[in-house]
């Protein structure tokens, strides 16, 4: 890979720098303050096109020359952008046929960025030309260490429905299907008599009166991804003519649904990602962890770069909450823990005008007299001590299946229930595993999964026969597979696999599904006799090799299997036929106080109220004192309660949990921990998964509260406390990276705090 890592040493720290919004005298202040904050990398020139090329073919690089030289003199390196996400006004005027058209046929106005058709040949020419000018001019500038092509492909113009796009789509279809007969077969066009006589007759899936061919919609979604990738490749290849520095473009994993980042993964030299917390969510730090794990997985496990996040509030959500004290630090270090070699923000200095003037920045409107600025400086100093983590890897025993095509397909119109939601199910499983302190990778269902102890497919509605075989082979070879309802239903064209549901998964799961019984809104059904509750979905499962672990005891499928297990030699395949909630111990991370600030040590009651009112998470919001006790004391008294058994031989040192497992297998063959409704956090999905994790031999820290994020990256252990109470973690010994203290035994992480321990001797 060309030239990665980008900096001679250390974690990259900085952000988007938009000096063109400021008079030049401010630039000198900027670089002085960047040095004070420990900034070593900025992304420059992202929105500069109209300044660099004020009229077609007329260039002015004076300002960019001066700022790059100034940064160079100050030792700040540059991630140099091509400005092609925001074409100049003259471009739009000169090429009206390059304008973006939405699904309803509206021509989208200018006065904003991303307002162009991704298939426009005029755009391709103009973007290629400016990229060439920039690359040839700055390729050997000593400040430039990497290239930042465009900005967030597909963020606001993922799909364009203009005639130029329609023509390009037809060419793409010719390439994919070969002849129109094959297209008709793939899309099932005999339905409603929608057969095409030629490719010329195909239109993009513009607004239709009623349900539209789903094959058409899926192929259009794929085509749109490829149109953006083609734009990226053009610029990347232009740059490569002049430079062998790494080329990236900033992804938006997982919050840009139209972009299939598995398709993008091989295109960039280093994966970089932008991530913004959803301020409406009390558990935003779990979604952040999911995003970081998915980004690492898209990067193939290699280190990646956090290209943007925020120091505080964004400006584009309905309610833009400032981050709580300590939250920026926790967020930043969580990204590093999960594989990022950079902590970069949008943006360096807060804008005074334009659409984003209320967005936080490293240097806020309040200036250097602010707590935020102090935090930015402190974070820079801490990251300076974390350099040895760079390049190291995160290893995971568990993988979650994530497929953007399944995401798209599941959410097309006319499904059995409007409550089917790809993100909801993936996040439920992810949260349950996060709260069990299990770090996961994400995988495409066709990927090599043989190295994982457990693979979970939470929402694999669209699953090709080849991918299903991959999952089957995995379980047969001794792997442990968990599949959630409404998976394995259709192929890549959204055609139902033949025979009873779940088509291509019937054999591996050892069952079939005779009828779906989606539940009414807010309806629940009980299963088992240990307090498990299903939402959204029930269905009639017929066993064919699998055995029932839990039956529905209520609802349309009462007396029939709800959780099943199919033993396959050394491996097994489980099936969960309803939506179980992850359940939590009780403390809510978003309210973690900053112990260094007196006024913040008390929980924020307004936030607590929000949490308590969140009925979807409902039953476990009251903290369980018995569990907190486990967190701060070592019930086994052996000083090693939190250790990972695979690494230290402490296979199960939490008596409470050991007791569950020691109950043995229940009458249906699953280890007894599935019955641990009495243990805090053990109900619902967590309880089910805990039993399966044990069966699959997945080691993990024991006896910790579920607000403590525990991640191992190479020789470093990151302990991030999202809760209100101090947490003592036993069995992690080594050197504290931030305080240089030796930790021979227990490490106590303060509320809201982060401790990073580098293990002695790199063991």
Q: What is the DSSP string of 10-77?
A: S-EEEEEE-GGGS-HHHHHHHHHHHHHHT--EEEE-TT-HHHH-SBTTB---HHHHHHHHHHHHTT-E
Query: Among 53, 235, 274, 283, which residue interacts with ligand GAL (rule: CB under 6 A)?
Result: 274
Residues in 489-548 at the binding interface with ligand GAL, rule: CB under 6 A: none
Q: How far is CA 59 from the centre of its chain?
A: 39
Angstrom distance (rounded) from CA 504 to CA 465: 6
17 or 452: whose CB is closer to ligand GAL?
17
250 or 533: whose CB is closer to ligand GAL?
250
Instruction: Return the SS3 of 176.
Output: helix
Query: Which tokens sit at 177?
Result: 């299907």
Minimum CB separation from ligand GAL for residue 32, in Å? 24
Residue 273 binds ligand GAL, judged by CB under 6 A: no
228 or 584: whose CB is closer to ligand GAL?
228
Residue nearest to ligand GAL (CB): 346
Cβ neighbours around 724 below 10 Å, total: 21
Nearest to 79 by CA among 8, 30, 15: 15
Site string for ligand GAL, 348-387 (x = CB under 6 A): --------x--x----------------------------
356 or 610: whose CB is closer to ligand GAL?
356
287 or 684: whose CB is closer to ligand GAL?
287
Q: State the pairing for strand pair 747-749/727-729.
A: antiparallel
Q: At what angle do helices 284-298 and 327-337 cross, to 10 degrees?
A: 30
Query: Among 49, 251, 261, 346, which residue interacts with ligand GAL (rule: CB under 6 A)?
Result: 346
Q: Are 234 and 210 in contact (CB under 8 A)?
A: no
Nearest to 368 by CA among 36, 62, 638: 36
Minimum CB separation from ligand GAL for residue 315, in Å? 7
Burial class (CB in 10 A: 0-12, 13-18, 19+), 644: buried
276 or 575: whose CB is closer to ligand GAL?
276
Minimum CB separation from ligand GAL for residue 14, in Å? 14
Contacts with 81 (C-beta within 8 Å, 6 or more apart), sequence order: 43, 44, 45, 46, 48, 147, 148, 149, 150, 151
Angstrom distance (rounded) from CA 529 to CA 391: 48
Nearest to 308 by CA among 294, 291, 325, 322: 291
Query: Among 115, 151, 217, 484, which residue interacts with ligand GAL (rule: CB under 6 A)?
Result: 151
Minimum CB separation from ligand GAL for residue 356, in Å? 6
314 or 376: whose CB is closer to ligand GAL?
314
Contacts with 242 (C-beta within 8 Å, 6 or more apart), sequence order: 135, 136, 139
Minimum CB separation from ligand GAL for residue 287, in Å? 16
Helix (H) or strand (E) holding 431: helix 422-435
Site string for ligand GAL, 439-468 (x = CB under 6 A): ------------------------------
48 or 487: whose CB is closer to ligand GAL?
48
Residue 20 binds ligand GAL, judged by CB under 6 A: no
User: Within 13 Å and on the Cβ side, how many CA atoms surround 77?
Assistant: 22
Q: Which residue has the tokens 């429905």?
A: 161
Residue 421 binds ligand GAL, judged by CB under 6 A: no
Nearest to 628 by CA among 544, 542, 724, 747: 724
Contacts with 757 (C-beta within 8 Å, 6 or more apart), sequence order: 716, 717, 719, 732, 733, 734, 735, 736, 737, 743, 747
Question: How many residues line the site for ligand GAL (CB under 6 A)?
Answer: 9
156 or 613: whose CB is closer to ligand GAL?
156
Residue 314 binds ligand GAL, judged by CB under 6 A: yes
Q: State the pairing for strand pair 511-516/539-543.
A: antiparallel
Catalytic residues: 152, 308
Residue 79 binds ligand GAL, judged by CB under 6 A: no
Nearest to 81 by CA among 129, 126, 42: 42
> What DSSP designation does 220 have?
H
Minimum CB separation from ligand GAL for residue 348, in Å? 12
Residues in 648-687 at the binding interface with ligand GAL, rule: CB under 6 A: none
Angstrom distance (rounded) from CA 337 to CA 712: 7
Minimum CB separation from ligand GAL for residue 321, in Å? 14
Minimum CB separation from ligand GAL for residue 307, in Å? 8
Residue 152 binds ligand GAL, judged by CB under 6 A: yes
Residue 308 binds ligand GAL, judged by CB under 6 A: yes
152 or 709: whose CB is closer to ligand GAL?
152
Query: Among 4, 262, 276, 486, which residue interacts with ligand GAL (rule: CB under 6 A)?
Result: 276
Residues in contact with ligand GAL by the rule CB under 6 A: 151-152, 274, 276, 308, 314, 346, 356, 359
């Amino acid at each position: 890979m060309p030239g990665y890592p980008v900096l001679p040493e250390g974690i990259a720290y900085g952000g988007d720098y938009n000096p063109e919004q400021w008079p030049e005298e401010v630039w000198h202040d900027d670089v002085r303050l960047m040095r004070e904050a420990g900034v070593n990398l900025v992304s420059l020139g992202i929105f500069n096109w109209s300044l660099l090329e004020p009229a077609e073919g007329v260039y002015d690089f004076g300002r960019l020359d001066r700022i790059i030289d100034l940064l160079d003199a100050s030792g700040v390196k540059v991630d140099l952008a091509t400005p092609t996400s925001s074409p100049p006004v003259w471009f739009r005027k000169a090429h009206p046929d390059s304008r973006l058209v939405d699904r309803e046929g509206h021509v989208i106005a200018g006065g904003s960025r991303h307002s162009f058709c991704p298939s426009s040949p005029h755009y391709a020419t103009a973007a290629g030309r400016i990229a060439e000018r920039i690359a040839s001019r700055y390729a050997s500038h000593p400040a430039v260490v990497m290239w930042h092509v465009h900005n967030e492909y597909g963020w606001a113009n993922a799909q364009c429905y203009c005639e130029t796009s329609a023509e390009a789509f037809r060419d793409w279809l010719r390439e994919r299907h070969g002849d129109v007969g094959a297209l008709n077969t793939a899309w099932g066009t005999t339905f409603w008599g929608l057969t095409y006589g030629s490719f010329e007759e195909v239109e993009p899936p513009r607004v239709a009166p009623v349900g539209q061919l789903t094959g058409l919609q899926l192929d259009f979604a794929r085509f749109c991804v490829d149109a953006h990738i083609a734009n990226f490749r053009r610029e990347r290849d232009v740059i490569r003519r002049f430079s062998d520095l790494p080329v990236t473009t900033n992804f938006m994993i997982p919050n840009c649904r139209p972009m299939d980042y598995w398709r993008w993964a091989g295109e960039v030299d280093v994966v970089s990602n932008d991530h913004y917390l959803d301020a409406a969510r009390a558990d935003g730090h779990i979604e952040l962890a999911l995003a970081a794990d998915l980004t690492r997985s898209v990067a193939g496990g290699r280190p990646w770069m956090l290209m943007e996040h925020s120091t505080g509030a964004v400006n584009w959500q309905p309610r833009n909450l400032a981050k709580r004290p300590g939250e920026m630090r926790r967020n930043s270090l969580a990204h590093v823990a999960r594989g990022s070699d950079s902590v970069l923000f949008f943006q360096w200095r807060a804008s005074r005008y334009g659409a984003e003037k209320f967005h936080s920045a490293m240097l806020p409107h309040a200036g250097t007299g602010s707590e935020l600025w102090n935090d930015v400086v402190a974070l820079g100093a801490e990251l300076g001590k974390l350099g040895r983590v760079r390049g190291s890897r995160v290893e995971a025993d568990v993988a979650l299946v994530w497929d953007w095509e399944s995401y798209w397909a599941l959410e097309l119109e006319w499904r059995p229930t409007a409550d089917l939601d790809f993100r909801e199910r993936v996040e439920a499983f992810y949260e349950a595993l996060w709260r069990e302190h299990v770090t996961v990778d994400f995988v495409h269902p066709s990927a090599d999964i043989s190295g994982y102890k457990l693979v979970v497919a939470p929402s694999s509605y669209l699953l090709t026969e080849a991918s299903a075989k991959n999952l089957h082979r995995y379980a047969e070879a001794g792997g442990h597979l968990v599949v959630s309802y409404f998976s394995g239903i259709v192929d890549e064209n959204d055609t139902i696999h033949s025979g009873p549901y779940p088509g291509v998964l019937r054999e591996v799961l050892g069952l079939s599904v005779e009828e779906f019984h989606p539940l009414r809104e807010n309806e629940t059904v009980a299963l088992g006799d240990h307090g498990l509750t299903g939402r959204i979905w029930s269905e009639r499962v017929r066993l064919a090799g699998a055995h029932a672990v839990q039956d529905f005891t209520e609802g349309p499928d009462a007396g029939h299997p709800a959780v099943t297990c199919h033993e396959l030699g050394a491996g097994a395949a489980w099936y969960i036929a309803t939506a179980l909630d992850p359940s939590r111990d009780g403390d809510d991370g978003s309210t973690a106080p900053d112990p260094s600030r007196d006024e913040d040590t008390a929980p924020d009651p307004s936030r607590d109220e929000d949490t308590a009112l969140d009925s979807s998470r409902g039953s476990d919001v009251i903290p369980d004192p018995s569990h907190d006790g486990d967190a701060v004391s070592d019930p086994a008294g052996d000083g090693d309660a939190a250790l990972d058994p695979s690494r230290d031989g402490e296979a199960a040192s939490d008596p409470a949990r050991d007791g569950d497992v020691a109950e043995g297998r229940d009458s249906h063959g699953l280890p007894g921990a599935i019955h641990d409704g009495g243990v805090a956090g053990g109900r619902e999905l967590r309880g089910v998964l805990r039993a399966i994790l044990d069966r699959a031999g997945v080691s993990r820290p024991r006896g910790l509260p579920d607000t403590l994020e525990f991640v191992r990256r190479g020789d470093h252990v990151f302990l991030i406390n999202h809760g209100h109470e101090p947490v003592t973690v036993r069995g992690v010994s080594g050197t504290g990276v931030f305080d240089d203290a030796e930790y021979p035994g227990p490490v106590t992480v303060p509320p809201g705090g982060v401790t990073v321990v580098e293990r002695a001797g790199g063991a």
